[in-house]
Chain A
Amino acid sequence: MIHYKKKILDNGLTVIASPDKTTSLAALNIIYKVGARNENENHTGFAHLFEHLMFGGSKHVPDFDTPIQKAAGENNAFTNNDYTNYYIVLPKENIETALWVESDRMSDLNINEHTLELQKKVVVEEFNQRYLNKPYGDVWLLLRPLAYRIHPYRWNTIGISPDHIRHATLEEVRRFYCTYYNPNNAILSIAGDFEPEQIFGLAEKWFSDIPDRRPPVPEIPSEPEQTEARRLAVSRDVPASVIFIAYHMGKRNSEEFLVCDIVSDLLSNGSSSRLYQHLVKERALFSSVNAYVTGDLDEGLFIVTGQLAERTDMKTAESALLEELERIKTVPADAYELEKVKNKFEANTLFGELNVMNKALNLCFYEMLGDISAVNTELAAYRRVTPDDILRISKKIFRPENSSTLIYEKK
């Protein structure tokens, strides 16, 4: 159970306060509701590149990191397809330092050619390190455009190619900042040993002077329903072949998501899960297997994947995965198995609540989804999922014409 209070400032900034007496730390988290899905297809990777520029200094804070380091704090950020998240964790006595630097870069970010040119290079190296210079690094660069034809989820946060990053201009950067980095496009949360009123007062002090600029309503094209199975086969210089099967599924905010999340747990969460027991242990066809949901704001993906054991051929591997999906569509899960994945979900929720940073992030995330109270009620919603829900949703999702299969074979 996470305690919180919420308030919206006059300029539209949503502020969430989470009192926690057990820690000497304070966590400040801020979500800007902009991600790769807001990008133009000719300028991909931009939201993430911009995240790097947010560390380039602002009017009163020439170097973003230094004051936080001096305040014994730690900060970082990440960008995904839906949003950009920034956080700072520091001793609670120094919370105003966090508010100072965070409000200054929302108000007056330094945007200049030097920082842009430099961060373009850094991001190209990130592209190389994480996606191109690693075995299997390009899997998602292949899988997304296979599964999505129209929706911007067809590209990755890092972008379609390093060239898009190299071509970003200062003018675009300025426009992006004005468009998306506004108080009413942001959610701020603070967790720590404070009274909520104290947090609202501080937020008011540091953020209320930032003018309200209405962000545009994102016009994001929706993905048309897929009508036939898609397939892509590549061969690469890797030690083992892998297979990915992606199915379209509901939004993070839908009942369908909860059911799919449970299905993915039945399939692969823990070493007693179906895919692991049947395909890794009993039949030894795979050396690892996984099933997971992407959990995106718009309609997302259900991924089933496995790395083939040395002597397994691709056809056998694929049929084995499909057999498991067939079973989940046709045979109701028994009460014990369902109870097991729900227990596991409950334990993981509790373990997650031990960390002040997790709490601040979760509060922003659920607020962004549209209903912050779900941060505490989702557990009960999981508990309500029935074997019939699982059959119904599995039948809807696991259809060949809803699938995109990536065969990634070793040379």
Chain B
Amino acid sequence: MIAEIGHYALVLALGLALIQSVVPVAGARLRDDTLMGVAGPTALAQFAFVATAFAALTACYVMSDFSVANVFENSHSAMPLVYKFTSVWGNHEGSMLLWVLILSLFGALVAAFGGNLPATLKATVLAVQSWIASAFYLFILLTSNPFLRLPQAPFEGRDLNPILQDLGLAIHPPMLYLGYVGFSISFSFAIAALIEGRIDAAWARWVRPWTLAAWMCLTLGIAMGSYWAYYELGWGGFWFWDPVENASLMPWIVGTALLHSAVVMEKRNALKVWTILLAILTFSLSLIGTFLVRSGVLTSVHTFASDPTRGVFILMILVLFIGGGLTLYAWRAPALKQGGLFAPISREGALVFNNLFLTAACAAVFFGTLYPLALEALTGKMLSVGAPFFNLTFGPLFVLLLLVVPFGPLMPWKRGDLLGVAQRLIGAAAFALVVVAAVFAVTSGGPVLAPFGVGLAIFVMAGVVTDFVERTGLLRVPVATVWARARGLPRSAFGTMLAHFGLGVTLLGLVCASTWGTEQIVAMKPGAVVSLRSYDLTFDGTMTRQGPNYRETIAKFTVRQNGTVLGTVEPSKRTFPSRQSSTTEAALMTRGVSQLYLSLGDPNDDGSIAIRLYHKPLVLLIWLGAVVMFFGGGLSLSDRRLRIGAPKPAKSGKPALQPAE
């Protein structure tokens, strides 16, 4: 019964979405307030129905109702309760349901908090949002229904994939989807602006908080996924340039560009046409990411061809929205007038540089991910594109971009003075160079470029400090004045500083962990000692333990540093009988922001067990940097001008026809 309620609620949501797709647009055309007013309630109701469907599926999982095919295939009655909740989206059908849940949530948020939007814009935005929703409801109902029943209910489920039985699954996919799907709002705003033929600085002010919120979630989602892969996959890597990772990185890169260009548009009324294009591209890349992950095309082009229903459906959605969006853009964008002149050397110029390099970096990822697929589909030739390719193409572009990061915020709007800004950054640059020299002196081995990588990270961070000093007059004026000035700065200024600082932190972690990480691969018998850096690990022995739905072989190690015991670590291997598969649970010992990482291999015949021990210096900075970026975004989001919102139009009867600017 519960599954049927969920199924029915989803059908009702589709019905509402279809209404919301048509009626508000007609209302906006006819300037009919009643018709436009339909959008708000339908958006809220849509969310209520999808939430009902989602709750129904969750209930089926929690009650282990194995008569539902989806639950049977992805759950087990003995699984801990938290994984019964998370396994709702630990499979294709459920994750698509999460996708539309978040989509309808964003629609409902616009309906609830978009009170200060012009009526026609709000109606059109919600209608566009509903076009996307309709397409995906149809996709779920026709090809990926999670509520299908089995003719005979089995006694036990097949269990969730052991790799996914982790708290990472509770955080990573929802955050990632909040980001992916959140960009649909920017897309809907862009399409609405093109339909209305009107776009101004206020538009950017409305779009920016949505983009920022989506970007924040995506940042955290990607970082969480990376950390999850790091501790779960057992060989200590944190980024693999896997197509699935790239699928989430591309919207992030272009979304970052969109955030920056929207600033120019809001403050200076320039880059309007470009910002619209970026908004369309960002969500298009989210859709492409969904296609790559959901269609099975990555597993192999042939699997995709042998069962193409889902893939072709998403491909159609893709063509419809990306093609439609870009066509509309090509048709209407020339009518949008450009405003806000600026010199090449200016804040605007720096942000254009940022956009150019981010776009090129995204192109590197895009071609690296899709080129092998396209080549194989067209010519049958097989090609591999992996980390070495991305390091060579994406790497240099990002290095150049990071070099310019400290210059941007110091540059004045409209017309700047490169030499003046460079002079103000001399301190930061000198400090970075000193660090480079120190790193050269202290370390040995590793690529020659690595100390410069550290220097670049320090330069980015010192640039943020310079920015703060310049804005507050720290060390030049009395403390009270500094305090007053700092308080007077908008929160978005601190948001920028924090986000840029986080970038430096992440870079520092990346460079250090991948350059100066050390490892030991040995076979050990109980009682043996393995040493790495200043750490000595004694293998105390193994034991087995029974978990709720797995058996676990645990190896116990005592960690000592210069004779003092620091503690014990217990890496393990888990075997899941229901799926006849196993996972490696690496043991981590955190020392400051560095980590010792220990994972188990297979036992040998002579009673020894293979172990892999890593020392990863400063590795936690990679993800802490992302957290800092997240909070930077949050600070920016709480900025007064976004809290208060854009100025409302005077409420004098019918809104006057606005001339296209």
Bind each other: no
